Amino acid sequence: MGATFAERTTTGRYQGVPPSGARAHPAAVLAVIAAGAVAVLALWWGNTPGVTGPADTLTGAGRITGLLAGYAIAVLLALMARVPALERGVGSDRLARWHSMGGRYVVWLCAAHMLLIIWGYAVTDGTGVVSETVTLNLSYPDVLKATVALLLLIGVGIVSARAVRPRMRYETWFHLHFYTYLAAYLAFGHQLATGEEFMSSRLAQAAWYALYVGVAVLLVWYRFLTPLRQSFRHRLRVGDVVEEGPGIFSVHITGRRLDLLRAEPGQFFRWRFLTRNLWWSPNPYSLSSAPRHDRLRITVKDLGDHSREIARLRPGTRVLAEGPYGAFTPARRKGRKVLLIAGGVGITPLRALFESIPAEPGDLTLLYRARHADDLAFRAELEAIAVQRGAALHYSVGPRDQIGEPFTPETLTALVPHLPHHDVYVCGPTGMTGDVIAALRAAGVHKRRIHHESFEF
């Protein structure tokens, strides 16, 4: 058996959760995206009388990859538009993974489009690829715009690569991604100006305008106007800042009619505090207690300049909040029993779930892993909740080289009777989360009962 957990088990009742909004099912979203791709291919097919010879083959392939790239750019932006139905149903981490994977496809499609079109034109004109590249870029301004768009997308792709991203500050990574909007604008103009499908069809032009304008409206509304509207409507301000432990601070945000936000335990907002050093960057932080009609709470660990500045916030500071986001909520559960597993500051969303997820006495368990006893945030609160709700609360404290592996199939099975019948919510460092999920699967927990969201950028 692995590391020993200290236990506190008591009796009590559970509280309810607020109603949730509309949720888009992941499979349905993928089906809609696939249908759009088929429609794009049909657009090319309907506008192509035939393909004969190498030049036509190359140019036709270039037109296909270009249409798919233009469509995929719009899809990528829509996935990151913070549409509530997508955020609640698909989940922010899954949307981010789709966006990251789709981004790689977009870069390759754009590069293939440029190469195939230039190659096809070079074969038609009887010139070299380099000569044709220079001619197209210097003779057609919209082709030059497309080249700039491709370079911008490649740059964004480089800063998003796994080898590069961890070395960057979140704020830098976040703002560099705004160049994607410029790339989309340049690519959109290029397609309408030079794409054969759009030059010969008013209907195709109207459909492409509808796609891009629709995505632009979603972006402007949900990413820019909604946070402003929420701030003024709910009068969000910092109430106070409370130290929860060494380098860990809770920020209480006050406001009016906060129930209208329809936030749920386990969700997060992207917070923009209107101070000189913090106003320019929205950072994601989970709710660390169940939302109330007049107060929200987040908890932040000092991991850098931004989080350190949050600890210095003064009461009354105005706040802009994007959200709520995420599908790490009670709505994911499949059965009656619930297990929560937290590591370090990952206790934040699980603290809110521990307080509010529906569960009868004896059906709720929290396992909390920390390297040192001082790192156990909310300890008094968690023990009070356990008393009130009849929940089991277990701690694992100490370095691994001293206490052993805290999460093994044997340890989890011994701590949690009938483990395979539990819905399990996991939040913590990436390495710990991976180890826990592997141990849960080895212990017989079905993957559909394991719920986790990654909050890394």
431-440: pLDDT as tens digits: 899 999 999 9
Q: What is the pLDDT of residue 115?
A: 92
Residue 22: which pLDDT band, with cuts at 50, 70 and 90? Answer: confident
Q: What is the pLDDT of residue 9?
A: 43
Residue 1 lies in a domain: no
Q: What is the pLDDT of residue 351?
A: 95
Question: 314 or 22, which is more confident?
Answer: 314
299-321: pLDDT as tens digits: 998 776 667 788 889 999 999 99
Residue 4: which pLDDT band, with cuts at 50, 70 and 90? Answer: low
Is the same domain home to 59 and 191?
yes
pLDDT over threshold 80, residue 170: no
**Final residue belonging to a domain, choices 229, 254, 269:** 229
Is the same domain home to 94 and 132?
yes
Nearest one of 341, 350, 342 to 268, comparing CA atoms:
350
Is the same domain home to 352 and 248?
no
Q: What is the pLDDT of residue 75?
A: 95
Token code pair at residue 405: 């592996």
Residue 397 lies in a domain: yes
Is the same domain home to 351 and 288?
no
Residue 154 lies in a domain: yes
pLDDT average, residue stretch 398-405: 80
Q: What is the pLDDT of residue 347?
A: 93
**Final residue belonging to a domain, choices 301, 325, 349:** 325
277-288: pLDDT as tens digits: 888 878 889 999
Is the same domain home to 306 and 426?
no
Q: What is the pLDDT of residue 16?
A: 40
Residue 182 lies in a domain: yes
Q: Which range marks the domain in which residue 273 is found?
A: 238-325
Residue 457 lies in a domain: no
Residue 45 lies in a domain: yes
Is the same domain home to 304 and 350?
no
Question: 233 or 173, which is more confident?
Answer: 233
Is the same domain home to 194 and 170?
yes
251-270: pLDDT as tens digits: 999 999 999 998 999 999 99
Q: What is the pLDDT of residue 143?
A: 86
Is the same domain home to 102 and 178?
yes
Residue 74: which pLDDT band, with cuts at 50, 70 and 90? Answer: very high
Q: What is the total count of domains within the chain?
A: 3
Question: 319 or 16, which is more confident?
Answer: 319
**Final residue belonging to a domain, choices 308, 325, 342:** 325
Residue 457: which pLDDT band, with cuts at 50, 70 and 90? Answer: very low
Q: What is the pLDDT of residue 53?
A: 83
The CATH number of residue 243's host domain is: 2.40.30.10
Percent of the chain with pLDDT over 70: 91
Q: What is the pLDDT of residue 11?
A: 37
How high does pLDDT run on average in the chain?
Answer: 86
Q: What is the pLDDT of residue 1?
A: 37
What is the 3-class SS of the chain, one letter each residue? CCCCCEEEECCECCCCCCCCCCCCCHHHHHHHHHHHHHHHHHHHHHCCCCCCHHHHHHHHHHHHHHHHHHHHHHHHHHHCCCCHHHHHHCCHHHHHHHHHHHHHHHHHHHHHHHHHHHHHHHHHHCCCHHHHHHHHHHHCHHHHHHHHHHHHHHHHHHHCCCCCHHHCCHHHHHHHCCHHHHHHHHHHHHHHHHCHHHHCCHHHHHHHHHHHHHHHHHHHHHHHHHHHHHHHHHCCEEEEEEEEECCEEEEEEECCCHHHHCCCCCCEEEEEECCCCCCCCCEEEEECCCCCCCEEEEEEECCCHHHHHHCCCCCCCEEEEEEEECCCCHHHCCCCEEEEEEEHHHHHHHHHHHHHCCCCCCCEEEEEEECCHHHCCCHHHHHHHHHHHCCEEEEEECCHHHHCCCCCHHHHHHHCCCHHHEEEEEECCHHHHHHHHHHHHHCCCCHHHEEECCCCC
pTM of the model: 0.78
Is the same domain home to 213 and 242?
no
Residue 399: which pLDDT band, with cuts at 50, 70 and 90? Answer: confident
Is the same domain home to 374 and 269?
no
pLDDT average, residue stretch 25-33: 93
The CATH number of residue 390's host domain is: 3.40.50.80
pLDDT average, residue stretch 358-372: 92
Residue 10: which pLDDT band, with cuts at 50, 70 and 90? Answer: very low
Is the same domain home to 297 and 391?
no
Is the same domain home to 68 and 182?
yes
Residue 137 lies in a domain: yes
Q: What is the pLDDT of residue 18?
A: 43
Residue 394 lies in a domain: yes
10 Å Cβ neighbour count for 12? Answer: 15
